[in-house]
A and B are shown apart, each in its own frame.
Chain A
Amino acid sequence: MQFVLADPGLHWRDALFLLEGAGHTLWVTAVSGLFGTLLGIALGWMRFSSGVLRIITAPYIDVVRSVPLIIQLVLANSFLSLAGVGFDTFWLCVMVLSSSMAVVTSEVVRAGLASVPQTFRRSARSLGMGKLQEFVFISAPLAVRTSFAAWVGLLLGLAKDSALVSVVGYVEYMKSSQILITRTNEALLLLLGVGIFYFVICYPVSRYSARLERRMAL
């Protein structure tokens, strides 16, 4: 006997399923963007201010940038399962995505801090500011000016990279479209939906950040 789905075509209720996937994409991007940025700022500052820390953290950064994200996800997944640690899929994805976000952010932060002229730093210190005060009131605001646009680019990269998390079973927009493609065979229509979804998010933001970059140029 052959099993046949009653009605495999697209329905309006599938829109709800896609919407849920879209929500997952945005949510996983937002959470890993937040953690990744905070970690990246810390990492970037450490790497900027101490030569020893720069050498210690260099291998980590090198490895994360030279191994594909898919492999990192699969590896983290199978490592946790063989270690016997039960882990929610969502947090697994957040962990891997924010680690990669932290690494790229740290480089941007480091470059931003390096763009602050040494004389500014010295003047702040000679005015009696502590190291932390100098960072908060002098270096950080200037570094934000030069690296904000690049950071926005990284965030968009993260949103696009989040399309890969389905390999460990988290159903975000790409995966939910793929599930529907398998059932309905409407590959082109659903894929166009995917393209428009990402394009509508990324294009305006990247245009905005390019404009901001021109305006903020020192």
Chain B
Amino acid sequence: MFGYVFYWSLVWDAMPQLMAGAWLTLQIAVLSMFIGTVIGLGLALLRQKGRGTPLRLASAWVELARNTPVLFQIYMMYFGLGSLGIQISSYSAVLIALSFNNAGYLAEIFRGGLAAIHRQQLSAARSLGLSPLQGYLHVIFPQLLRIVFFGYVTQAVWALLNTSLGMLVGLQELSGAAQAAQSVTFRSFEFFFITALIYYALAKFMELGARVVFRRWLRV
């Protein structure tokens, strides 16, 4: 059954490429989570307070992001925009698509959290002399992030795993780098096994990172 000799040394030789890929993966995951959080908060507020066109646009964003595959969203940014004559790099295509996707999912997570915060919290903040923006920044959002903590961490890991789709539009993130490296040697099992281990480590790192950030800045 196993007439196969494993060549792990080939993977060690390609380690610099894999590490560069891992760095790109982490970068896209963190950036897309950051952009997604900012937009997601806006979308959640629009869906709670907005009316008319802004509300409809926010709802359309959330439903589109949640009801189509991430791969479709990435292809749309890369091939779809390309056929409209707008050429963007695979890096920006993946980053934009994942930010779009994260914003949609996070908006839904935040909506659940906002519903759990009492309406009078904002009125209380306003009556103490805080501006609406200050009220949200200092009173509503800290509580919100505390409530949605677990959903948020899950989404962060999810964003990390989704960056692997960059491989399919030729981005040299971790999967893409592994794909390129294994195509020279055809040792796909060895390469993707190590890649899986690196992804596992990155996912744990992402989880830990989210925890530390929440502890430090939000005192969850």
Contact = CB atoms under 8 A, between A and B. Distances in A.
A206 B84 contact: no
7 contacts: A74-B192, A75-B193, A83-B4, A181-B79, A191-B76, A198-B72, A206-B66
Nearest to B207: A66
Interface string B75-119: 110011011100000000000000000000000000000000000
Interface in B63-81: 63-64, 66-72, 75-76, 79-80
A139 B69 CA distance: 34
A186 B80 CA distance: 9
Interface stretch (A13-21, A34-42, A130-138, A161-169): A161-169
B68 A63 contact: no
Given A70-B168, A163-B69, 19 more contacts: A66-B203, A67-B203, A68-B161, A68-B164, A68-B199, A74-B192, A78-B188, A82-B189, A84-B2, A84-B3, A178-B75, A181-B79, A186-B83, A187-B82, A191-B75, A194-B68, A194-B75, A198-B69, A199-B64
B57 to A, nearest CB: 16
Interface of B: 1-4, 63-64, 66-72, 75-76, 79-80, 82-84, 157, 161-162, 164-165, 167-168, 175, 188-189, 192-193, 195-196, 199-200, 203-204
Contacts of A188: 80, 83-84
B175 A79 contact: no
Contacts of A160: 68-70
A206 B165 contact: no
A79 B190 CA distance: 9
Contacts of A206: 66-67
A191 B80 CA distance: 7
Contacts of B2: 82-84
A70 B79 contact: no
Nearest to B79: A187
> Is the interface on chain A under 10, 10 to 19, 20 to 34, or 35 or more residues?
35 or more
Contact of B175 (A71, A82, A191): A71
A203 B63 contact: yes
Interface in A155-208: 156, 160-161, 163-164, 167, 174, 178, 181, 185-188, 191-192, 194-195, 198-199, 202-203, 206
Interface string A59-79: 000010111111110110011
B192 A71 contact: yes
Given A63-B200, A66-B157, A66-B199, A78 B192 contact: yes
A211 B159 CA distance: 27
A163 B165 CA distance: 11
A71 B160 CA distance: 13
Contacts of A85: 1
Contacts of A167: 168
Contact of A70 (B1, B167, B193): B167
A82 B4 contact: yes
B76 A70 contact: no
B68 A187 contact: no
A109 to B, nearest CB: 17
Given A70-B175, A71-B175, A188-B80, A174 B199 contact: no
B161 A69 contact: yes
A167 B199 CA distance: 18
A65 B154 CA distance: 10
Per CB-CB distance, the 3 closest pairs between chain A and chain B, nearest first, are A68-B164, A66-B203, A202-B67
A63 B163 CA distance: 17
Contact of B188 (A74, A84, A174, A195): A74
A163 B68 CA distance: 10
A174 B71 contact: yes
